[in-house]
Amino acid sequence: MDGKVIVITSGKGGVGKTTATASIGAALAKDGKKVVVVDMDIGLRNLDVVMGLENRVVFNIVDVVRGKCRVSQAAIKDRKIDNLFLIPASQSDNKNSVTPEEMVLVCKDLKNEFDFILMDCPAGIEQGFENAVAGADEAVVICTPEVSSIRDADRIIGLLYAKKITPKLIVNRIIPAMVEKGDMLSHEDVVDVLSIELIGLVEMDDQVIVATNTGSSLVMNKESKAGMAFTRIAMRLNGQPGLPIEIPRTQVGLFKKLGRRIGISR
Amino acid sequence: MLNELLKKWRGTKTTSSQAAKKRLKFAIVYDNLEVSDDILDALKGDIIEVISRYFEIDTKSISLDIDRSEESSSLVLNTPILSAIRR
């Protein structure tokens, strides 16, 4: 097998990296790929609870790096989705417990066993970021339509370019009603500022919190707009790059539709 | 839609998202101009080396700074020349 390592990163914390990692990983696995999601937030483990696998954790990524266990022992199988595995972060170590060089080696091993390796990057630009990015072939940068998040995304994009990686962008937590009122940056604005290729737009969705509460997968919920958006992002990563990007919009009546048609409404 | 049409005709005031975009662009341009002291020191060392091939300069009183104004940034080097090196 010759897998692909994709790092999901943002710079700023709390913009949805972990949810995105879990959801994209689940969608890829549902599509028949063998997927492992790796929690690189060493010391602040969270991907396990988001996926509902917290009580199955035995080994972690630091154990794998130190050769205390094999990859197959550390990778926890998902409860519902076949082909989906999680390698959790260690909770008792810190970001300096592993080095980028060690991560490159681990990524090589993982590529032999999985089609997709998704790295859930910690917030920040320090060692944790370096570790998560070290073995990556591709990168997805996630941001919300807020100034602080976009500014940090710009910094991260610069750091990724310096590592010869051309990242793709997800704009998360879009609130269409606010965008239409002019009170939230539109995805066009965000792309204009960051000038990188878009890979998906995700609407603000209450179902994300519900799914996290129960540790179930967002992409299993057909009602979830965010879940569906992540599924389409997974398809774009999985050999369908041309799949059109749907723009989150409010439900509208005839007049607004007319306005959009003649170009005076959003 | 009517509101938007009216806004369009009235030559509207800027929305908060327009303000956000403008501020962001400025912040990012500014961020990208920021250079760490280490890099500036390294640059200074290199410049001294090059200039010293042509002029005898007082390396102690050389200054290298980045001047920022609203519109542009510039690198300002100031050094007294003691004498030209004749070859």
Residue A31's domain is classified under what CATH number? 3.40.50.300
Query: Which pLDDT score, from 0 to 100, does residue B65 have?
Result: 85
* Structural domain that includes position B80: 35-87
The whole-model pTM stands at 0.86
Sequence-distant (6+) residues with CB within 8 A of A207 are: A218, A221, A223, A224, A225, A226, A227
Proportion of chain A above pLDDT 90, given as a percent: 93
Q: Do the domain assignments include residue B20?
A: no
Domain presence at residue B59: yes
Number of domains in chain A: 1
- Enumerate residues 6+ apart whose C-beta is below 8 A from A181: B15
* CA A24 to chain CA centroid, nearest Å: 6
Q: Which residues of A touch B15 (CB under 8 A)?
A: 181-183
Task: Tell me the per-residue pLDDT of B59-84, one tens digit each, with 9 for 90 and over.
Answer: 888 888 888 777 777 888 888 888 88
pLDDT at A251: 79
Q: pLDDT averaged over chain B?
A: 83
A1 has pLDDT over 80: no
- Residue B9 placed within a domain: no
Write out pLDDT tens, residues A140-190. 999 999 999 999 999 999 999 999 999 999 999 999 999 999 999 999 999
Distance from CA of A251 to the nearest CA of B (A): 13
Which residue does chain A place closest to B27, by CA atoms?
A151
The residue segments making up the domain with residue A41 are 4-262
**Is residue B50 in a domain?**
yes
Q: Is A193 on the interface with B (CB under 8 A)?
A: yes
Contacts (Cβ under 8 Å, ≥6 apart) of A128: A40, A41, A42, A95, A121, A122
Which residue among A147, A181, A183 sits closest to B24, beta carbon to beta carbon? Answer: A147
pLDDT at B7 over 70: no
Mean pLDDT for A114-119 is 98
**Number of domains, chain B:** 1
- Three-class SS string for chain B? CHHHHHHHHHCCCCCHHHHHHHHHHHHHHHHHHCCCHHHHHHHHHHHHHHHCCCEEECHHHCEEEEEECCCCEEEEEECCEEEECCC
Q: Which two tokens stand for residue A112?
A: 């032999």
